[in-house]
Structure 1
Amino acid sequence: MNKAGQAKKPIIFVLSIDTEEEWDWSGPFPQRHGDVQNILQVPAFHTVVSSFNIRPTYFVDYAVLETAQSVENMQRIIQQQNCEIGAHMHPWCNPPYFDDVGEAQSHVVNLPVQEVEVKVKALVSKIEQTLDVTPKSFRSGRWGIDGKVMNLLFQNGFNVDSSVYPYYKNEFFSCFGAPPTPYWAALDKPLEETTQQDMFEVPVTVGFNRGNFDFWNRIHYLFTQPNLSWTRFNGLAWHTRIMRKNYLCPELSSVADMINLCDIVIDKGYPVLHMYMHSSSLLDNSNNILGQNNAFNHLCRSIEQVVGYLEKHYEVEFCTISEAANKLKS
């Protein structure tokens, strides 16, 4: 029972990790062989989050699988049978290679379908060869999904996608209009819900510190445009708490903001909380807004505090992304 004497609301909790090479995100993309020192930290991280009963989903990209030690580390985790291995595509370091990858080409939605197809097949084959796993879940690198990519995923045996980044749009792709909660995605228009039961979309949890997310997203986006960004309204609104865009991501949001987001979305009827992060953030780095120093401990403490709060106030069920999808499909 909670403090009001009512039964705790049930909620599914998913943690997904983009398991990938590390680099300075403000610099060029590390084409072909990337540095994967961060994967040395993943087994210890897995031990920590497993102690919280979390069942992580590791979206693994090609660069991780090119280094024997990284493969061995991921195999050690798989042997514990309390996680899921999904596929994560970074076009710049996923063979076969074509032209140099710039900002637009870093999003799979902007690549020719023939290039995406051979890269998907190469990634699946590499995961099967090195980890003895056939991935069923997928996330595009740097987010974004469209009809050609979703159809390719379905044709190559995937049934769960997590490439939708709610309430986000830039000049290279858009997730505006997509449902923020899990849904059956239309193959040709994956930002739309359908009655077809081919691909199940499980977006990460993103929202605002006020309940009408669609309204506040319109305001937030309006003030990112060149004619209004000079006002710095979004920054002012964030510091004064008039409007905060919050992410269930310990790299980007404080524990207090993540807890606030969880309470709001559970009150709105969300069936799942989907926390996300990058394995590269386990190393001290300048990419994180939070936890740039002592990154490993910062991330673990943040996750522990959020999960501790949730378990105190809600009936939490920990799932991998495919486990969550299977429960929500029924």
Structure 2
Amino acid sequence: MMNKTDLLFVLSVDTEEEWDWDGPFPEDNFSVENLSILPKFQKFCETLNIRPCYFVDYAAAKGIPAEGEFHQAIKNNFCELGAHLHPWANPPYFQKPNEENSHVVNLPIQQVAEKLDALLSLFAEKFSYQPKAFRTGRWGISEEIMQLLWSRGFTVDSSVYPFYQNEYFSCQGSPVLPYWPDVANVLKPGSQRNILELPVTVGFNRRPFTLANRIYQAFDSAFMQNLKANAILWHSRILRKIYMSPEVTSSDNMIRLCKAIDTSKQPIVHMYLHSSNLIQSGTGVVDHDDPYQLITTRIKNVIEHLSKRNNLVFMTPSEAKIYFKTNPKFIAT
């Protein structure tokens, strides 16, 4: 019988308002209909022993009922609450939202501080809860924001999106493993031990990922895009960039990524999704009659696959921080 190795599994859920992601950012009357499905989703997670982390933004925190099953799950330590900052939905407001300033990483640090303090005050009022985990709105992290998080008592950040960049931010060059960010360059490991960076799992169907990423970037150039080169690589299965996210990735492709991960060197899978994609037409991203069923089935399929090969250890981000502090051999250096 094959000896199973331990594999940590973290599931994080950006818990937020819904809107058409191809449309303008909402500025008022934030719709949070998706919150009604969270108790059902939490029960689903508990059947699989998953203890999710809900990264809750201001609009969602306002919309979560004062009492109920969600609060009970928090009280029973069946989940964790993290803080999630959407600039367009989090007071105080400074400018009309656009693509650039929708990314927290592009805001003046004083604006970030004021918004974060407002969010933390709401957490204290609504949940009597001090979050330890944080994720920026729309990904990306900076040295200034990391320093701000330390000053507000956070112990783990999860804003790094490996192998990803656009014209507004970049996480290229970051580790795929958890790491202690350097104070002078938060995309590189350093010597501080106050706050852990816990990237989400992104990779390719082939190893090594760093080489696969260089090939992918080369084929992602403007010239090669015109030739639809990466689409050809994808459909031929020569090279696929795969996100460990059941809202955009099929079970088969997430399992391909699991098979490509060397668990002896990368002992963690960090899956992620948005609460707004659990309901129909929540964002326009999930084209399915029953997105909840689709997403939960994909999660279950991945868990079943991983359980055959590994001894799954389910953790929240703040627990993962404690684990990696006591198991430094698994930290990127």
Normalised by the length of structure 2, the TM-score is 0.94
Q: 2:93 aligns with which of 94, 97, 107?
A: 97
**Paired residues of 1:252 and 1:288 also in contact (CA < 8 A):** no
What residue in structure 2 maps to residue 190 of structure 1?
Answer: 186
Q: Structure 1 CA distance, aligned partners of 2:191 and 2:130?
A: 26
Correspondence 1:51-90 to 2 at 5 A: 51-67=47-63, 69=65, 72=68, 74-90=70-86
Q: Structure 2 CA distance, aligned partners of 1:310 and 1:25?
A: 32
Work out the percentage of aligned pairs sharing the same amino acid.
43
Gaps of 5+ in 2: 327-333
1:244 aligned to 2:251? no
Correspondence 1:94-243 to 2 at 5 A: 94-243=90-239
Q: Structure 2 CA distance, aligned partners of 1:207 and 1:129?
A: 39
What residue in structure 2 maps to residue 295 of structure 1?
Answer: 291
Q: Report the secondary structure of 1:17's partner residue.
A: strand
**Paired residues of 1:165 and 1:175 also in contact (CA < 8 A):** yes
Q: Structure 2 CA distance, aligned partners of 1:289 and 1:68?
A: 23
Q: Structure 1 CA distance, aligned partners of 2:198 and 2:164?
A: 15
**Paired residues of 1:42 and 1:73 also in contact (CA < 8 A):** no
Q: Deviations over 1:219-272 (max 9, x none)?
A: 222333323211111111111101111111101111111112112213461021
Q: 2:316 aligns with which of 293, 316, 320?
A: 320
Q: Structure 1 CA distance, aligned partners of 2:67 and 2:260?
A: 39
Structure 1 294/68 Cα, relative in aligned 2: closer, same or farther at 3 Å? Answer: closer
Structure 1 124/187 Cα, relative in aligned 2: closer, same or farther at 3 Å? Answer: farther
- Larger mean CA deviation between 290-299 and 32-41 belongs to 290-299
Q: Report the secondary structure of 1:86's partner residue.
A: strand
**Paired residues of 2:8 and 2:315 also in contact (CA < 8 A):** yes
Correspondence 1:11-30 to 2 at 5 A: 11-30=7-26
Normalised by the length of structure 1, the TM-score is 0.94
Structure 1 286/57 Cα, relative in aligned 2: closer, same or farther at 3 Å? Answer: closer
Q: Report the secondary structure of 1:261's partner residue.
A: helix
**Paired residues of 1:151 and 1:188 also in contact (CA < 8 A):** no
**Paired residues of 2:177 and 2:199 also in contact (CA < 8 A):** yes
Q: Report the secondary structure of 1:151's partner residue.
A: helix
Alignment RMSD: 1.6
Q: Structure 1 CA distance, aligned partners of 2:26 and 2:295?
A: 25
Structure 1 188/101 Cα, relative in aligned 2: closer, same or farther at 3 Å? Answer: farther
Letter of the structure 2 residue corresponding to residue 223 of structure 1: F
Correspondence 1:263-282 to 2 at 5 A: 263-267=259-263, 269-282=265-278
Q: Structure 2 CA distance, aligned partners of 1:298 and 1:291?
A: 10
**Paired residues of 1:284 and 1:292 also in contact (CA < 8 A):** yes
Q: How many residues align?
A: 326
Gaps of 5+ in 1: none
Q: Structure 1 CA distance, aligned partners of 2:228 and 2:285?
A: 18
Structure 1 120/262 Cα, relative in aligned 2: closer, same or farther at 3 Å? Answer: same
- Larger mean CA deviation between 25-34 and 117-126 belongs to 25-34
Q: Report the secondary structure of 2:176's partner residue.
A: coil
Q: Report the secondary structure of 1:88's partner residue.
A: strand
Q: Structure 1 CA distance, aligned partners of 2:20 and 2:118?
A: 26
Q: Deviations over 1:84-112 (max 9, x none)?
A: 00000001111000001110101111111
**Paired residues of 1:33 and 1:63 also in contact (CA < 8 A):** no
Q: Report the secondary structure of 2:196's partner residue.
A: strand
